Chain A
Amino acid sequence: MSMTWEVVIGLEVHVQLNTRSKIFCACSTAFGAEPNAHTCPVCLAMPGSLPVLNAAAVDKAIAFGLAVGAELNHRSVFARKNYFYPDLPKGYQISQYEIPIVGSGHLDVLLPNGEEKRVGITRAHLEEDAGKSLHDAYPGESGIDLNRAGTPLLEIVSEPDMRSAVEAVAYLKKLHALVRYLDISDGNMQEGSFRCDANVSLRRPGAPFGTRAEVKNLNSFRFLEKAIGYEILRQQDILESGGKIVQETRLFDANLGETRSMRSKEEANDYRYFPDPDLLPLQLDAERIEQVRKSLPELPDARKARFMEQYGLPAYDAAVLTAQRELADYYEAVATGQDAKLAANWIMGDLLGALNKAGLEIETCPVPAQELQTLLARIADQTVSGKIAKEIFEILFQEGDSVDAIIDARGLRQITDNTAIAAMIDEIIAKNPQQTAEYRSGKEKLFGFFVGQVMKVSQGKANPDQVNALLREKLQAPAKE
Chain B
Amino acid sequence: MELHQLELAELAEGLRKKHFSAVELTQALSPRLEAAQGVMNAFISIDSEAALQQAQSADQRRAQGESSPLLGIPLAHKDIFCTRGVRTTCGSKMLSNFVSPYDATVVRRLQEAGTVSLGKLNMDEFAMGSSNETSYFGPVRNPWNLGCVPGGSSGGSAAAVAARLIPAATGTDTGGSIRQPAAFCGITGLKPTYGRVSRYGMIAFASSLDQGGPMARSAADCALLMDAMAGHDPLDSTSHPQGGGRFSAALGRSLQGLRVGVPAEFFGAGLDPEVAQAVETAIQWFAAQGAEIHPVHLPNNAHAVSTYYVLAPAEASSNLSRFDGVRYTHRSAAPKDLQELYLQSRYEGFGAEVRRRILVGTYVLSAGYYDAYYRKAQQVRALIREDFRRAFAEVDVIMGPTTPTPAFALGAKSADPVSMYLADIYTIAVNLAGIPALSLPCGFSKEGLPIGLQIMGDYFADELLLGVAAAYQKDTDWHRRAPAWEEQ
Interface, chain A (partner B; CB < 8 A)? 41, 44-53, 80, 82, 84, 86, 89-92, 144, 270, 272-274, 277-280
Contacts and interface: CB of A to CB of B under 8 A. Distances in A.
A50 B319 CA distance: 11
23 contacts: A44-B327, A47-B90, A47-B100, A47-B322, A48-B104, A48-B199, A49-B201, A50-B199, A52-B236, A53-B237, A84-B342, A86-B338, A90-B322, A144-B327, A272-B318, A272-B365, A272-B370, A274-B318, A277-B207, A277-B315, A278-B238, A280-B237, A280-B238
A89 B324 CA distance: 8
> Which of B322, B338, B362: most chain A CB closer than 10 A?
B322
B237 A45 contact: no
A91 B318 contact: yes
A274 B314 contact: yes
B322 to A, nearest CB: 4
A92 B362 CA distance: 13
Interface in B34-69: none
A52 B235 contact: yes
Given A80-B318, A84-B324, A274 B237 contact: no
A47 B318 contact: no
Given A90-B322, A278-B237, 9 more contacts: A46-B82, A48-B200, A49-B201, A50-B199, A50-B236, A52-B235, A144-B327, A274-B365, A278-B238
Contacts of A144: 326-327
A90 B318 CA distance: 8
Contact of B102 (A46, A86, A90): A46
Counting from the closest, the 5 A-B pairs by CB-CB distance are: A91-B321, A277-B207, A272-B365, A277-B208, A45-B322
B472 interface: no
Nearest to B346: A84
A273 B375 CA distance: 12
Interface residues of B, number: 44
A46 B328 contact: yes
Contacts of A91: 318, 321-322, 324
Contact of A48 (B203, B234, B315): B203
A272 B203 CA distance: 22
B374 A278 contact: no
B268 interface: no
Nearest to B374: A274
B218 to A, nearest CB: 29
B366 interface: yes
Contacts of B73: none
A89 B329 CA distance: 12
Interface of B: 80-82, 88, 90, 95, 98, 100-102, 104, 199-204, 206-208, 234-238, 314-315, 317-318, 321-324, 326-328, 338, 342, 362, 365-367, 370, 374
B234 A52 contact: yes
Contact of A47 (B203, B236, B370): B203
Main SS of chain A's interface residues?
loop
A84 B323 CA distance: 11
A91 B201 CA distance: 18
Contact of B322 (A89, A277, A280): A89
A82 B317 CA distance: 10
Contacts of B315: 277
A277 B323 CA distance: 18
Given A41-B101, A84-B324, A277-B315, A270 B366 contact: yes
Given A89-B327, A280-B237, A50 B200 contact: yes
Given A52-B234, A82-B318, A274-B374, A47 B208 contact: no
Contacts of A274: 314, 318, 365, 370, 374
Nearest to B343: A84
Nearest to A269: B367
Contacts of A50: 199-200, 204, 235-238
B210 to A, nearest CB: 9
B98 to A, nearest CB: 7
A41 B366 contact: no
Contacts of B326: 86, 89, 144
Contact of B204 (A48, A86, A279): A48
B367 to A, nearest CB: 5
Nearest to A271: B367
Contacts of B374: 274
A274 B364 CA distance: 11
Contacts of A280: 237-238
Contacts of B367: 270, 272
Contacts of B324: 84, 86, 91
A275 to B, nearest CB: 9
Nearest to A144: B326
